[in-house]
Amino acid sequence: MAAAASACGGAGCGQQCSSASASGGAEEDAPTERMGRLSISAATACGKCDGGGVAVFVAGGVGMCVECFQAHLFGKFKLAVTSNAMVRPTDAVLLAFSGGPASRVALQFIHEMQSKAIQSWETSNSQALPAFGVGVAFVNESVLSARLQHETEMVIEDIKSIVSSLSPGDKKVHVAPLEDVFSSESGVKAARLKEVVGMIDDETGRDDFVRCLRMLSLQKIALENGYTKIMMGTCASGIACHVLSATVKGQGYSLPADVQYVDTRWEVPVVLPLHDCLAQELNLLCELDRQVFLKTQQLLDRPCSGINSLVASFVSRLREENPSREHTILRTAQKLKPFSFNKFSANGYHDFLPSRLRPKFQNVDTNESTFSEILCLICGSPFSESELQNLESTKHKDQKRTDGYTAHCCQSCRFQILPAATDMYEHFFSLLPKPWTEKVDTASASHSSLRDQIADYLLDKDDDEN
């Protein structure tokens, strides 16, 4: 009973204990209100099977043993994967692994899916497709933290041993220092990362900027090693926090893009199979199963600050009052129109889909926002109408390179991430990772070459005067 989630220390002192269990003290709650209320009690047997002494209370107060609880969460994971066509047999999936409970559960579950696929491939005739591949990526951000180097090395060793214990299916571990996204000599990279992060005045902006670099790093690992999907351990609680903080930051237009299961706007598409699982559930599964398999490695010692951490503590207070709040926030945000890049197109997916799901991927859903293909240089947010207009207006001017970069940043990044003094822009942009600025360079080069091509047909000032 190490995982004491109740006031009585998880001993299950009975119906009188106000917080002992969801089914005990919360009879008057509506079933939906009890969703996600978790506690552990030895008093009740599993409501799903006949075995098991310890019961986990989840989803409407149903008591479950550890095995059934795990199966319950695995069911949500698998449903998210299959109903959104996240993984094809030909895919190589790169799991973004932080070592925390969410990514640890994602690793375990994708491993289980892979094992089953390998088994059925081995037992079937050669007709069947091979099983998908899985790799694990760890982005090492220690250059930005005060942690000692040998601690990081121990964590990395632990991660390698966790991954190597998962067989069948060979899984490579890719450890990439965050500063590797800066394409300069190795000694300079770390200094560059520190300098550019140091130029951001706003704490929230710094936090978000590092998050953008992390995504770039994952994309780089995936592209260099032939992965076709990036799987993240983002769960319902994390998305709920993002919904609120994005609203506070004025990122309402691009918000729908971040709350879906699938995000193909990146070169390597990103999938979120833990979309419907709560952080509490994932933590609990790791705690219950620690002896069995789910060893976690907590590395997030970065002191969080600014809007993101304020929102996180706000959401955790909401959860204490009513555990279904995270689901409510998520459901509300999902009523927003997703973008066209929030699902896989029918191309190449059709053959692997169960027939009942095919129509979902075939028809162009008119309920989706059309997408301008212009994404923020830094955070990848799609551009809103006003941002597009601003970009258009700068195109007609003889602009400096820096103006082009600035116009390709969304409002929120301009406000939070770009330095306050505009005379620092040039230096700031020169420090950014090349993949970000190069996109704008190519776009403006093609724009000016078009101008060159049609230059003969354009009236210039001299002609007017003659």
413 binds Zn ion per the rule CB under 5 A = yes
Q: Judged by CB, which is closer to Zn ion: 249, or 319?
A: 249
Q: Can you list the positions of beta strands (E) in 44-166?
A: 55-58, 62-64, 92-96, 133-140
Residue appearing with tokens 């002192």? 13
With binding defined as CB under 5 A, does residue 68 bind Zn ion? yes
Q: Does 213 bind Zn ion (CB under 5 A)?
A: no
For Zn ion, how many residues bind (rule: CB under 5 A)?
Answer: 12
| Two tokens, residue 426 | 């040039």
Which residue, 47 or 89, is less far from Zn ion as judged by CB?
47
Of the pair 71, 129, the CB lying nearest Zn ion is at 71
Pick the binder of Zn ion from 1, 4, 30, 49 (CB under 5 A): 49
* Binding residues among 362-381 for Zn ion as defined by CB under 5 A: 376, 378-379, 381
Stretches 57-65, 99-107, 234-242, 359-367: which one binds Zn ion (CB under 5 A)?
57-65
Contact between 40 and Zn ion by CB under 5 A: the answer reads no
Q: How many residues does the chain have?
A: 466
Q: Which tokens sit at 27?
A: 């009879």
Gap between the Cα atoms of 380 and 113, Å rounded: 31
Residues contacting residue 130 through CB under 8 Å, at least 6 positions apart: 89, 90, 121
Q: How far apart are CA 230 and CA 247, in angstroms?
A: 26
Minimum CB distance to Zn ion, residue 72 (Å):
9
Residue 285 to residue 40: CA distance in whole angstroms = 11
- Closer Cβ to Zn ion, 68 or 407, answer by number: 68
Shortest distance, CB of residue 71 to Zn ion, whole angstroms?
Answer: 8
**Which residue carries 């091509």 as its tokens?**
453
Could you identify the residue written with the tokens 């059309």? 370
Q: How far apart are CA 39 and CA 5, in angstroms?
A: 5
Residue 204 C-beta: closest distance to Zn ion, Å: 13
Q: Does 46 bind Zn ion (CB under 5 A)?
A: yes
Question: Residue 124, CB half-sphere, CA atoms under 13 Å: how many?
Answer: 12
- Does the protein bind Zn ion through residue 65 (CB under 5 A)? yes
- Is residue 288 part of the contact set for Zn ion (CB under 5 A)? no
* Greatest distance between any 2 Cα atoms in the chain: 97
Q: Which stretch binds Zn ion (CB under 5 A): 132-140, 362-370, 382-390, 407-415?
A: 407-415
Provide the minimum distance between the beta carbon of 67 and Zn ion in the complex, in angstroms, as a whole number.
5
- The stretch among 40-48, 231-239, 320-328, 392-400 that binds Zn ion (CB under 5 A) is 40-48
The pair phi, psi for residue 349, each rounded to 5°, is -100, -25
Asked if 395 touches Zn ion (CB under 5 A), the answer is no
On the 0-12 / 13-18 / 19+ scale of CB atoms within 10 A, 406 is buried
Distance CA 106, CA 90 (A): 19
* Stretch near Zn ion under the rule CB under 5 A, chosen from 44-52, 82-90, 229-237, 281-289: 44-52
Q: What value, to the nearest 5°, has the Cα angle with vertex 378 and ends 377 and 381?
A: 75
Taking CB under 5 A as the criterion, the residue among 279, 410, 418, 440 binding Zn ion is 410
Burial class (CB in 10 A: 0-12, 13-18, 19+), 366: exposed
CA 4 to chain centre: 29
- Please state the closest distance from residue 314 (CB atom) to Zn ion, in A: 23
Note whether 73 binds Zn ion by CB under 5 A: no
Which is nearer to Zn ion, 240 or 378 (by Cβ)? 378
Least Cβ distance, residue 27 to Zn ion (angstroms): 22
Residue nearer to Zn ion on the CB measure, 156 or 418? 418
Nearest to Zn ion of 46, 315 (CB atom): 46
Binding-site ranges for Zn ion (CB under 5 A): 46, 48-49, 52, 65, 68, 376, 378-379, 381, 410, 413
